[in-house]
Structure 1
Amino acid sequence: MNKRSQQNIMIKGTKDGLTLHLDDSCSFLELLNELDTKLSANYRFQENDPLIAVKVHTGNRYLSENQKEKIKEVIRQKKKLVVDEIHSNVVTKEEASQWIAENQIATVAKMVRSGQVLEVPGDLLLIGDVNPGGTVIAGGNIFVMGVLKGIAHAGTGGNEESIIAASVMKPAQLRICGIVNRAPDGYAEEGHQMECAYIDENRQVVVDKLQVLKKHRPILNRLEGGL
């Protein structure tokens, strides 16, 4: 193997395991050969050695699922090495489109009636009411400029920082990610204006005045001028 190819892979040890930085300009076959050679030369383990997590960074090289599997196979052949993550700076058109959808605010002007379900991949700004029996679902945050009487489920994309806000909060049920807050007795009849729900430090969905978001979710300042 020539001197140039020996520089295709950089291996760094961290407190969490190993990080492999793979050059993105050489051929994939060249990369696999050097990966096998370097791991074999530098890492020999005993049977009772602990498992070591390996993170792989491929830079601007796009890897197909088959190529990712080949890299994992080379690493797994060295006992005690376990692939934790393969990260690339490159995404497919489909992945980019999904990311854009999940980070956009969908604005909908309508009333969500009983039996209806309104679902969006990113944030939802609903200009209208959610009637009892109606459901709104969002991958991110939910903002209701109206009365929320039905069910609201935010953070379906897994983000526990998601919130639910409403001009008038009279919900049948609030859910953020997989955590549920059912309205206490009398709450839905009374209703409260300009409130929000979020997951607190105890991993409970709590309802509070809208003003607390400035403290608990400062990133929402990008929506300044909204609800």
Structure 2
Amino acid sequence: MVSNSQLVTIKGTRDGLTLHLNDQCSFKSIVNELEQKLSMNGLDHDEPMIRVTIQLGKRYLSNQQQEALREVIRERQNLVVESIDSEVITKEEALAWKEDTEITPVVRTIRSGQVVETRGDMLLIGDVNPGGEVLATGNIFIMGSMRGMAHAGIHGDNKAIVAASYMKPNQLRIADQLSQAPNYESEGVYMSCGFIDAGEGDIRIAPLHEVTRRRPDLASFERRMLNG
């Protein structure tokens, strides 16, 4: 049995407070312990707002339970919950994550007026002709010529990329960034990739070897291809 002193651990950080909640006891016990500890730690209401991060461990909370935690903390006028983090997710969330990280192969030529959209990463084996459009919530990999419009990270993923065997697009979009005329030569660029430059904040076109150096996490694409 877990002792009350171990149910809630409060640690101060540079960014505020972190609450570690024991994941081996009842939710009611957690709430009671949290109310007691917050009431014991007297805070001056004139102090600036303090951000609170809640770590649940291997505990899952419903939206109603999360709101109950927020309410307990809101009673302290200078505390505000910034995030509630858990190591577990629901089956529905797991399925959504799987869809967002899957690679969808498309084998065709995207002609003028045609639009192809996928969830997760797109692997296009074919060309995107002028006037054609490809969109994905993740990355877009084109084994062919990119001459139309590509929009990667359409739900706001600014780490998404567009890679192509030959790059001369009408337009590139990544998340909410738009590039009408990327920095490539008039003849286009072979084996290149478009991405948002963290330093400049706009879309850059660079050789693939530079992109893999800047984005080592793209190695997961290779692992998924080998294991898929």
The verdict on a shared fold, with TM-score over 0.5 as the criterion, is yes
Corresponding residue of 1:47: 45
> Could you tell me which of 80, 84, 87 is aligned with 2:85?
87
**What TM-score results when the alignment is normalised by the length of structure 1?**
0.90
Identity fraction in percent:
48
Q: Quick one: distance in 1 between partners of 2:140 and 2:2? A: 56
Corresponding residue of 2:63: 65
> Could you tell me which of 131, 134, 137 is aligned with 1:133?
131
Q: Comparing 215-224 with 83-92, which one deviates more in the overlay?
A: 215-224
Q: Comparing 84-93 with 211-220, which one deviates more in the overlay?
A: 211-220
1:216 aligns with 2:214: yes
Corresponding residue of 1:9: 8
Cα deviation for residue 224 of structure 1 reads: 5.2
1:30 aligns with 2:41: no
Q: Deviations over 1:161-199 (max 9, x none)?
A: 2211111212110011111111369967x3332221111
> Could you tell me which of 160, 163, 175 is aligned with 1:162?
160
Cα deviation for residue 107 of structure 1 reads: 1.2
Aligned length: 223
Corresponding residue of 1:192: 189
Corresponding residue of 2:169: 171
Change (3 A) 1:48 1:186: closer
**What TM-score results when the alignment is normalised by the length of structure 2?**
0.89
Q: Deviations over 1:19-60 (max 9, x none)?
A: 111111211111111111111111x22232111100001111
* Amino acid across the alignment from 2:146: L
Change (3 A) 1:219 1:47: closer
Query: 2:154 aligns to what SS in structure 1?
Result: coil
Q: Quick one: distance in 2 between partners of 1:184 and 1:203? A: 13
* Amino acid across the alignment from 1:183: A
Q: Quick one: distance in 2 between partners of 1:39 and 1:170? A: 59
Q: Quick one: distance in 1 between partners of 2:163 and 2:2? A: 60
Q: Quick one: distance in 1 between partners of 2:124 and 2:115? A: 12
Q: Quick one: distance in 2 between partners of 1:186 and 1:19? A: 47
Q: Quick one: distance in 1 between partners of 2:209 and 2:123? A: 18
Q: Deviations over 1:1-34 (max 9, x none)?
A: x982232111111111111111112111111111
Change (3 A) 1:114 1:3: closer
**Aligned CA-pair RMSD:** 2.3
